[in-house]
Amino acid sequence: MLDINKKTLRRIIFGVLACIFVYWLLHETDRVKGFIGTISDLLAPFVLGGVLAFILNVPMRAMENTLLKKVKKFTLKRVISIVLTFLAMLLVLALVFWLLIPQIVETINSLIPNVRAFFIETQTNITDFLEKNPQLLQWLNENTQYSTIKWDTLVEKALGILGNSTSAILGGAFSVIGTIFKEVFNAVVAVVFCVYCLFQKETLARQGRKLLYAFLKEKTADNVVRTLRLTNSTFSNFLSGQCVEVCILGTMFAICMAIFRMPYIPLISVVIAITAFIPIVGAWTGCVLGAFLIFVKDPMLAVWFVVMFVVLQQIENNMIYPRVVGTSVGLSGMWVLVAVSVGGKIMGVAGMFLMIPATSVIYVLVKEITNKKLSGLTVDSEKLQPQPPELARRMGLKRKKKKNAKPVVTEGNND
């Protein structure tokens, strides 16, 4: 007869219950989705409030350490810092909308006449070109239905489609506004929860550490606390550096566009600054939009805008970004591209923004674990060089062969 102790019996029971639970998840997918949806709706305002508090903690902490450093009373300092943080956020949003809304209205009002003139001018240029090249015109008439094309009708249809698209966009915007008003309660709860988190962040951190050390092994809890602190530090440095960097980039575009007398300066410069929060792909999105708007008004000026964009991007990537953001993220361009792509697939635009500091934390942790593992091994350091000795000999490069293998040195910036 088998001798089963209480610990083994407990594991068997938990294993059976886990199998039953997995079976229920696989065969009751609709109920599971409904349950998860309900829980998500309940927790959404609190998750949003926590994320907002995590972001706003960066400027709030800076205010407490600089502007309010001489305020001795803790409660007064915390209240003033929270109020100033929210006022700064509202001021930035108001400034963005103040710059964007008039420009968007002006763009919509002027876009349709410009598109009409652009189509008519394009039609005239094509007709003139074909009249100067009768052989091409004859070939088109013989092999296509070019002679039966009614250009005026096409122009009107194109303008009609554009007008309908504009109406659809505006209708969608009003629908979104209606949805936002329906979610006002959740927004209020999120803001209130954010204020509580900011006001009691030290207490929440202490309670979290108590839970970790109470239910986890001390070494595991130490690693979790260290990882969380590394995440907070990395994200804070990334957010503060990115804010300064996009302000500089938007200002550079506004100045250069004013020098070359390009249209839609406030709209394009603000859009590029906002989209530049997402590295690599963000600013190029603003470039495509800006080039399209300028192209409708002046195609040649749009070409010069793209040239100007490429030049400013090179200056920003090679001179401004490394100095402003520095090594706060600590990722090469390749890993930033991977982080942006994966984050975009998982969570959209927010994922692109959040995945970069998250990837940086993972990169640092993997690097530390790898170096710690290698430090306990006896491996010839030449084997870990960018160019191993075997490959160097094949390429005709001479290396001095070491007689005795030495432990790998993991100090410095060796990756």
List, for residues 5-15, the tens digit of each pLDDT value: 777 777 888 88
Q: For the chain, what are the domain ranges?
A: 329-392+408-415
By C-alpha distance, which of 267, 297, 300 is closest to 113?
297
% pLDDT > 90, the chain: 10
**Percentage of the chain with pLDDT > 70?**
70
Helix 201-215 with 218-259: angle, nearest 10 deg:
140
Q: Of the given ranges (20-34, 61-75, 110-124), which has the lowest mean pLDDT?
A: 110-124
What are the respective helix, strand and coil percentages of the chain, to the nearest 5? 80, 0, 20
Task: Give mean pLDDT, residues 200-227.
Answer: 91
Tell me how far the alpha carbon of residue 45 is from its chain's centroid: 21
For residue 388, what pLDDT is reported? 61
Single-letter code of the amino acid located at 45 = P
Which of 402, 397, 400 is CA-nearest to residue 380?
402
Q: Rounded mean pLDDT of the chain?
A: 76
Burial class (CB within 10 angstroms; exposed 0-12, middle 13-18, buried 19+) of 224: middle
Burial-class residue 138 by CB neighbours within 10 Å (0-12, 13-18, 19+): exposed
- Give pLDDT, residue 398: 47
* pLDDT value for 268: 85
Q: Please give the pLDDT value at position 352.
A: 73
pLDDT value of residue 6: 72
Residue 230 has pLDDT above 50, yes or no: yes
Contacts of 45 (CB under 8 A, 6+ apart): 186, 187, 189, 190, 193
Residue pair 369/398 in contact (Cβ under 8 Å)? The answer is no
The larger pLDDT score, comparing residue 271 to residue 156, is at 271
* Cβ(117)–Cβ(295) below 8 Å: no
Grade residue 22 by pLDDT with cuts at 50, 70 and 90: confident
Q: Which amino acid is at 394?
A: R
Lowest mean pLDDT among 46-50, 209-213, 375-379: 375-379
The encoded tokens of residue 214 equal 């109470």
Residue 327 reports pLDDT greater than 80: no
Q: With 50 as the cut, is the pLDDT of residue 1 above it?
A: no
Q: In this model, does residue 213 exceed pLDDT 60?
A: yes
177-181, 190-194, 238-242, 305-309: segment of lowest average pLDDT: 177-181
- Examine the pLDDT at 283 and tell me if it is beyond 80: no
pLDDT score, position 192? 92
Here the tokens at position 227 are: 């990882």
CA distance readout (Å), 35 to 15, 38, 49, 247, 372: 23, 5, 22, 43, 43
* Per-residue three-class SS string for 109-178: HHHHHHHHHHHHHHHHHHHHHHHHCHHHHHHHHHHCCHHHCCHHHHHHHHHHHHHHHHHHHHHHHHHHHH
For residue 36, pLDDT over 50 is answered with yes
Q: What are 181-210's pLDDT values in tens digits?
A: 667 788 888 899 999 999 999 999 999 999
Looking at residue 382, the DSSP 8-state letter turns out to be: G
384 pLDDT more than 50: yes
pLDDT at 56 over 80: yes
Residue 279 has pLDDT above 60, yes or no: yes
- Predicted confidence (pLDDT) per residue in 60-113, tens digit: 988 888 878 888 888 888 899 999 999 988 898 888 778 777 777 776 776 666
